[in-house]
A and B are shown apart, each in its own frame.
Chain A
Amino acid sequence: MSIKRKPKSIHSLFAFASSIISFVVVIVLSFILYQEFEYTARQNATTTSSEIITQVNYHLSNYIDDIMTTGNFVTDLAKTNDWESVQSKFLAITDSRHDIVTIAVFDEQGSLLCSTDEGKEKPQEQIVKQSWFQNALTGDNPYYFSSPHVQHLIPIRYPWVISYSRKVETEDSEGKSVVRILLIDMNFSFVSNLSQQVTLGNTGYIYIIDTHDNIIYHPKQTLINCGLFKEDIQGVIDHVFGTYQSTHQGRQRLTIIQTVDNCRWKIVGVAYMDELMSGMNRISLIIILGTLFAILLSIPLTRLVASHITSPIKQLEHEMSHLENMSVADPPVVKGSIEVESLSHAYREMVTRIRQLMTDILTQQELKRKSELDALEAKINPHFLYNTLDSVVWMAEQGNTEGVIKMVNALAKLFRISISQGHEVITIAEEIEHVRNYLLIQQMRFNNFEFVLNCEEDLKDRPTIKLLIQPLVENALYHGIKDMVDPGLIRVNVKSLDEETIQIEVIDNGEGMSEEQAKSLLTVEGKEKMGNGIGVLNVHQRIQLSYGKKYGLKIISAFDEGTTVLITLPKGPKCSNAKVVHK
């Protein structure tokens, strides 16, 4: 079963669509803004970290250069055999440089030839198996830098050092070629101090690894030694050089790798992204709040814009609602967008056109009605005029001059009222006068009836459509009294039925008719069937056309008792007559 959705207003739809579009635009813009900020912050952090590492690289390169220069100088000394002189020079070096712990020369078997340290020397077998000795003796490179280690040259002295060692090929005092191993122990603290002071972010650090990927320096060396921290050496091996991001021990970090020129050590900078990008949290908050604010602001704004755009349409809709009952005159032009104004103009023209058409229809109906009335009146006049003139001729032939004058005079008055200068509405007094003239003419023609005309004084100035009573009187005369042996009597009484209604009674004492015949006189079918009573139906229709269905005729009749026709009319305001009577 499909659910019928309630139709939405154009305002709601427009507001909803605008809001959605606003939301999407704001969100997309915020996202792009955030990405841009994040990218810039990351780039800045990378650049800053790289610059710091470059500085460390610079200092470390200088230091290693210095050690190698010292190494070259000491190598030359180690080629001599005057060990007392050599030792004094060695001591001069170590005394002037706190970064150098020991300078020593060993023979190929590990026996100490010369050293800046004084004390019991270690057994040869312990010297020979140390890495700095082995690598200098058998390694491919002319020199060797060891990893940090505890030096064991002299008992009860355990300094952490980085050893620089190299093989020296020379001749002994007897001229035999001999191999000697030169050892320069660098104070590890001095090397570490070059890097220790550097921090990347709050807890970021740098460390140094040698060409064999052994850690030379690491700020967490103690933890690494204890197995409490594991450095991501493999990541450095994989990337060799440059910058990369990775996640290590649950934290995202930026790793920057640079190589120290002379010893090919790698300086590795580790910066934690959460620290480098800590400012992003604030920016994110600002962006989110800004977005929220923009979205919240967009809701009333879109509703406002929707109202602004749709209010002319709603106004137009409101105006159109009046079209149903045509209660508005000319609709106003609704101001708004071009389309709305154009629609408003079209609507206004349409209303004007409809109004014109309605007026035309009313006029046409009025004309039609008038033409019908005119036709009815036209039916009366020729027939009556022929008979009247026939009576005048007959009286003239009889020499009844007075009768002729009286009849012609009455006829003249009758036609004046009939014409009544085109007026449709006349006073009741004029209508009565018209009836009187008619009855006078007919009385002279037939001479077998009397008539009485009564009208309440107050009603004489009341309006009525003309020629209402005369056709009824004519019917009473022709169909009720004309063929009577006894003299007939026609009475016309005009009286107030109530405050709003006038009743006109046309009463005759003629032959009368049945009740069915009386009723049928007021219907078209009855008129066709009866073939008479044209005047009665016309009068009835005219009254109802003019005053409504509430008014009209009522016929009361019985055989041999006569007929009473009751006319009910609205009691209109008093008015002046059409001056027909006076003329």
Chain B
Amino acid sequence: MKKRNIMVVLLVFIFLLVSCKKNYVTQQYNAHSKVAFITMMQSGQTWGEIKNGAKIARDETNCTLDFFTPVKETDSRQQAQYVLDAIKNGYNAIIIAPSDERLLLSPLQKAQDQGIKIMTIYNSIDSTATMIPKDMMTSFTSVGTSIATTVLPLSPDKNIDCLVIGAMLNTTSAIKTTQGIRDVLKKQPKLRFQTAYCFGDSDKAADITEKKLKEDTDTNLIIAIDEVSSDGIMQAIRNREDKGKDLVIVTWGNSLSNLQGLEEGNVDAIVAINGYELGYRSIYAMMDYLEGKDVPDVPVEYALVTQNNFIDDKIQKLLFPQIN
């Protein structure tokens, strides 16, 4: 018998044997993936939840995940430096919440040119830029629309004098949220719409609020579009006699001061974004991106929490995602 025939028969038998072996599918990603996770600031409930979600996903995917965070969210240059460090230290991927949509373009472009996968969360980069990274974020325009839609029925009259306070000027979250609010409110017969930025300083946000309320007594709507601004607003209304009950106030994030304000009736609505989901999904999305799979564009969940829906099961889960 020819040796070729023997080999064919042998291979057929081995194939049969191997095919008899049961394969238990293990959903594993490449454990050698090294991801740099660059957030905007160290403190803040939302950022803490984002990190917690990312850590859980890290444990499940077995990737290497390192967090890099500037002390202040205004420190875009430090974020840029983290990107350059990530390039130097051989990271496969960078997940970043850019604190400036333009300043970070250059280092991110450089990282992308080095073959590093880039994903932006929470904020994106300048949409006119040539590089288009993957992103994972809430639809902030919808958030803005929801805020305005929620607060309009709470306003005593149709004349709106609105102050929107944000922390950062050049962040897509701030730009889009403000745009969403403006798009709804501008339909009102009389609108005075003012935006101000505290640049990551809650005291400054408090000053802005107090000054606005002092100088413009017709002010009836104050909206914070980030946690730092919320802290400033809460700080400002605490000093008022009526604790802001005469105003419609919308704050940002599920901090205890916000929740207390809501329960006491000082705050009319809270914007709660599921930071845990954002952090968790961003890691899985990056793992898929690294393996060349499609990354679906699903916006991260958010909700407008009011006293009416505060104890709803769904809102509770959103406000208190960390069950243990």
Instruction: Using CB atoms and an 8 Å cutoff, list the residues of chain A in contact with chain B.
Output: 8, 12, 15-16, 19-20, 23-24, 26-27, 30-31, 34, 38, 126, 129-130, 148-150, 152, 155-156, 158, 160, 188-189, 192, 196, 203, 221-223, 225-228, 249-252, 272-275, 277, 280, 284, 287-288, 291-292, 295, 299
Distance between Cα atoms of A160 and B322 in the complex (Å): 9
Q: Is the CB of A274 within 8 A of B26?
A: yes
Distance between Cα atoms of A464 and B281 in the complex (Å): 122
Q: Is the CB of A23 within 8 A of B260?
A: no
Q: Is the CB of A155 within 8 A of B260?
A: yes
Neighbour of B320 across the interface among A156, A160, A287, CB < 8 A: A160
A126 CB to closest chain B CB (Å) equals: 6
B80 CB to closest chain A CB (Å) equals: 31
Q: Is the CB of A226 within 8 A of B18?
A: no
Most buried by B among A12, A155, A275, A277: A155
Distance between Cα atoms of A20 and B1 in the complex (Å): 12
A411 CB to closest chain B CB (Å) equals: 84
A459 CB to closest chain B CB (Å) equals: 69
Interface class of chain A by DSSP: helix
Distance between Cα atoms of A148 and B313 in the complex (Å): 10
Q: Is the CB of B21 within 8 A of A228?
A: no
A548 CB to closest chain B CB (Å) equals: 53
B300 to A, closest residue via Cβ: A226
Distance between Cα atoms of A13 and B27 in the complex (Å): 49
Rank and list the top 9 A-B pairs by shortest CB-CB distance, nearest first.
A274-B24, A225-B317, A274-B26, A226-B277, A273-B24, A16-B1, A155-B263, A221-B323, A150-B316
Give the residues from 13 to 58 in chain B that come closer than 8 angstroms, CB to CB, to chain A. 13-14, 16-18, 20-22, 24-27, 53, 56
Contact partners of B310 in chain A: CB under 8 A:
152
Q: Is the CB of B324 within 8 A of A192?
A: yes
Contact partners of A226 in chain B: CB under 8 A:
53, 274, 276-277, 280, 301, 317, 321
B284 to A, closest residue via Cβ: A228
Q: Interface size (B, Cβ < 8 Å)?
A: 42
Contact partners of A275 in chain B: CB under 8 A:
26
Instruction: Using CB atoms and an 8 Å cutoff, list the residues of chain B in contact with chain A.
Output: 1, 6, 9-10, 13-14, 16-18, 20-22, 24-27, 53, 56, 60, 256, 259-260, 263-264, 274, 276-277, 280-281, 301, 310-311, 313, 316-324
Distance between Cα atoms of A189 and B322 in the complex (Å): 11
Distance between Cα atoms of A197 and B18 in the complex (Å): 37
Distance between Cα atoms of A203 and B53 in the complex (Å): 17
Distance between Cα atoms of A227 and B302 in the complex (Å): 13
Contact partners of B60 in chain A: CB under 8 A:
203
Q: Is the CB of A222 within 8 A of B321?
A: yes
From known contacts A38-B22, A189-B324, A288-B18, infer whether A156 and B280 are also in contact, taking CB-CB under 8 Å: no
Distance between Cα atoms of A383 and B15 in the complex (Å): 99
Contact partners of B301 in chain A: CB under 8 A:
226-227
Question: Can you give 28 contacting A-B residue pairs, CB < 8 Å?
Answer: A15-B1, A26-B13, A30-B17, A38-B22, A126-B311, A130-B311, A155-B263, A156-B260, A156-B263, A160-B320, A192-B323, A192-B324, A203-B60, A226-B276, A228-B277, A249-B27, A250-B25, A250-B27, A252-B24, A252-B25, A272-B24, A272-B26, A274-B25, A274-B26, A277-B22, A288-B14, A291-B17, A295-B14
Q: Is the CB of B17 within 8 A of A288?
A: yes
